Structure formats: structure tokens, C-alpha cells
Structure 1
Amino acid sequence: MGKLPRLIATDLDGTLLRADRTISARTVEVLERMSAAGSRVVAVTGRPVRWLAVVFAQLDAPLPAVCANGAVVYDPVGDEILRADPLAPALLAEVVDRLRAEIPGVMFAVEIEDGRRMVHEAAWPTLWEDGDPMIRLADLPDDLLAAPAVKLLARASAHQDPDAFAKLVAGALAGLAEATHSSRSGLVEISAAGVTKAAGLAWLCARYGVAADEVVAFGDMPNDVPMLTWAGTAVAVANAHPAVRRIADQVTLSHEEDGVAAYLEKLLADADAG
């Protein structure tokens, strides 16, 4: 009682961020208080590097980040990639060939250059990213496979249920690559075998000299499960996917109710009382 965690690892979308992708003033304030009290705060996200600046602009200072579901560890202060574990082109080709054989109509995009750029097939829906200069259409089919990718993204119009589609992809890629999802649409995120949020966070914690039992982690979606299982204390927000709630040690308020901030405020109050 009264002891603060040495490190706080938090997912972003659906956990720290509200539905409108903003961070409340309350959350910003409590993260600053935790940092001042000696607890490191790390963002652990499925987002690529290029999507982090818009989040960090809302904070008093940017956070070290494990991104692309553990494939990239990033220092925003120096704009430096500390570690990257991408899918090699030969592995990408094998994964794509296997999924095309198993899932008719599957379409792909790849996160390349450590997540600073995306290349996608013509059928890929760019949604709100349309017009982003960091995203481009593949010139040729093999263009997708030309460079190492920190993440391969897969969609199939006939498979809109995210859990069922992720299970289908994971089964097709068993032993070859990791498949997970953080979206409530039919989008699956594929990484090299062994690359998860847990692996990326464990690497960064080793760099800091922090043990798993000194970490409190927050999350909401299946891609957070490895991290939450690894961390000493796993906290799900109330809006979390059932798979996350099942393995969580505790459940806090939803992301719309500043659940991460509420939990950390209680830790600070207990520390003061102790």
C-alpha cells in the first residue's frame, strides 16, 4: 500500500483517448503528476509512428512509445527508432500468399519505413487518411512486398466480424506470424512471429531496468492482451473487449469517463495516505 508503480503502460485509442481522439485535461494532469512522482509513462499502441504526433501534441511532453503492436520502440524527443522488428520481404510474401489462398477477396496494406509510410492495394479503403502524403497506392502488386514492413494489414469485405476474421487469419498463419486486431471493423493486424505489445514493452522495460511486476498496464482490445498478461497489474477500461476484461486484474471506468486518470488518481491518493 502506498507504493506507486515504476512504470505505467497505456494503450491509446479506446483507453487513454476518448472517442473523439482527444485526451482530457484531467488525464494530462494526472499523467504529469505520476511522472513527477517518479513513475515512467509509456504509450503502447497499435498506431504507427506517423500517428503519434497528433496525440503527443495534447500532452505536456511526448511519451516514449511502443508502437505498431510492439514492432517499433520510439523515442519522440529525438525522433529516434530505438528498435524495430519488421516482417522481412520474403516472410511478407509467404504470409500474403497463404492468406490469398485461404481467404478469397482479401486485400492488404503495409506499414513501412518503421511506420512512417503506408503502401496499399487499390481496393484498400483509406478512409480518413485519404490525401495523406505518407500513404500511397502500390504501383505494382509486388510493390507491397518490396520493403520490410512493421505491420501488414488485412481486410476482406466478406468478413466484417473482427473476432471471427482475426481467428480465421490467425489460424491460417499459425507458427508463421502474429495476427490480432484493435478495431471493431473487419481489420486484422499482422506482425512477425513473437512481435506483440508485450515483447516491445518488455524490451523497453529491460532498457529501463524495470521488472514486469513493477508495471501497471491499461488496455481495451485484443492486441492489448499480451501486454496485460505480461504486466504485474492489468487494468481494463469499462468499454474493453470481453477478451480483455476476462484477463484483467481490475476494471476502471470507460475511456469516455477518464478511466485511466481515475485509476491513477486512486494510486496517488493511496501513496499519499501511505
Structure 2
Amino acid sequence: MEATPRLIASDIDGTLLRDDHSLSAHTAAVLTRIAGRGTPVVLVTGRPIRWLRTVYDQLAEPLPAVCANGAVVYDPVNDEVLRADPLAPELLAEVARRLRAEVPGVRLAVEIVDSRQMRHEADYPLRWDADEAAIRVVETPDELHSMPAVKLLARAEEHPDPERFTALVAGAVAGLAEATHSSYSGLVEISAAGVTKAAGLAWYCHRLGVDASDVLAFGDMPNDVPMLTWAGRAVAVANAHPAVLAVADDVTSANSVDGVATYLEKVFGVD
């Protein structure tokens, strides 16, 4: 990419946000200036819609988002889902059956209603939002796949190595769904076949008339790899997973020191 990018796409956690999940005033200001000059800035994240408010509260204006690893494209201004690509109940049931049969100790949860709600098995270990009204334990395992889900979540305390656990889950769902991970906590995220951050971002860019070659993308974890290989210029933060560093065209400083903002200032000449 030699020309100025026509669209900026950035992962959130571990990339745009600092390790305490805060967005620095510096980074927020840079994003605001670039968007104000007419270059779209899109958040591309594994987060569900209900987890975006904590980010939007730190921005001058909310930014469009590709959520749930590409399964949901969200317009925050109108609180509107522009596109959703969920796992159908029949497919979800088969994926869950395979996981229970082939992955010892697996615990499952689903993101439903375009990721505004979550349902989980009783022994599924919750992290961020255990107390939210949108989160509920299912009464029977079959309830997990009674309606479309934009993401199936798998955890297993018996498999502490995230790389090996992801490989195990990916093998179990091969040919049916996509499996990836975006943290080191032992969580594997499963989407419908072909649903990735790249696919969701490509749909949004097509809507705006922006080619992949004109996109500058930032990321840090394996779920960012499809987006980074699709974009015209891929930038990893210094703290990125080795799989991301391997595909990146460039590396900026770490998320803890405003690596994305620093890179954008150089590209766009803003400070």
C-alpha cells in the first residue's frame, strides 16, 4: 500500500486498548481526527455487541463495528445490526455433539440475538459479565442450540494450553465451522464456516465501495489473521501473538504505549 488508506480497521482488546481495557485519551483523539477527516474507522472484534459500550464510552463518537469475529456488522449510531451470519440451530446442534464427543471436559456457551444475549451451561466458567441480565444458564444442554447463535464458545479446564485446545476443537468441527482464539485464557470461539473477521470486514467495505488494497488493519491475536491477510496493509502491535507477527507487513509499538495511534499519526500526518 503506497497511497493513504481509505479505511482503518482495528481489533480492540490487546491492540487498541491498553491491558487494563482502557482507551488512552491520545488514541481516542487520533481516531476522532482521522474519522473527522473522512476516513472510516471500523472496530473489528471478537466482542459481542453488549461489550462495546465500555469502548464507546471512551470515544467522542461511537464507531461502526464488526463483532463476534465477523458474524455481526453493527451500526452503533442507530443501534442497528446491518448483517448477521449465525450458526443455524441444526448446524449448531451437530457442532455441539461433536465437541461433547471428541473434546473431554468441554463446556459450552452461545452468543444469541446478534450477540446481545448469552446462554451457557451451568459449569461453563464465566469471566466478564456473569451478573448481566442478558446472561442466563440453560436448563438443558439442548437449549443451547434451540435458536441461531452468532458464536459458540468452548472452554475446558482440563486443557490449559490455548494453542493445543484450539487445535483440538478445530479438528472436531472441521468441515462444519471456524474455530479460533483471541486470548490466552483457554477460550475457543466457533463461528459458521467462512465467517471470519475478514469476511465481515469485506462485506462492510464492499458496502462503502472500499477495496481490500485500500484497508489498513491492526491486530494482535490469531482471530485477527484472516483480516490481516485480507487487508492491503497489515500491522501487528509489538505484543502480538507469533501467528500475527508472521503475517504482518509491519509492526508498531505495543498496545500499552498507543502503538496503533503512533502508527496512524505517521501515516496520516496527524499529532
- The bucket for the TM-score relative to the shorter chain is over 0.9
Using the aligned pairs only, state the percent identity.
68
- Where in structure 2 are the equivalents of 1:120-269 lying within 5 Å? 120-269=120-269
Give the CA deviation at 1:129: 1.6
User: Residues of 2 paired with 1:244 and 1:145: CA distance?
Assistant: 32
Q: TM-score by structure 1 length? A: 0.96
> Which 4+ runs in 1 deviate beyond 2 A?
1-4
User: Residues of 1 paired with 2:265 and 2:29: CA distance?
Assistant: 10
Task: Give 5+ residue unaligned stretches, structure 2.
Answer: none
User: Residues of 2 paired with 1:163 and 1:86: CA distance?
Assistant: 25
Give the CA deviation at 1:4: 2.3
RMSD: 1.4
Task: Give 5+ residue unaligned stretches, structure 1.
Answer: none
Question: Cα deviations across residues 171-219 of structure 1 (Å, max 9, x unaligned)?
Answer: 1111110000001111100000000000000000000000001000000
Give the CA deviation at 1:39: 1.2
- Where in structure 2 are the equivalents of 1:28-177 lying within 5 Å? 28-177=28-177
Cα contact 1:2–1:267 (8 A) shared by 2: no
Higher mean alpha-carbon deviation, 168-177 vs 238-247, is at: 168-177
User: Residues of 2 paired with 1:31 and 1:229: CA distance?
Assistant: 23
Cα contact 2:118–2:135 (8 A) shared by 1: yes
Aligned pairs, number: 271
User: Residues of 1 paired with 2:131 and 2:116: CA distance?
Assistant: 15
- Give SS of 1:172's match: helix
User: Residues of 2 paired with 1:145 and 1:260: CA distance?
Assistant: 38
Q: TM-score by structure 2 length? A: 0.98
User: Residues of 2 paired with 1:172 and 1:128: CA distance?
Assistant: 27
- Give SS of 1:218's match: strand
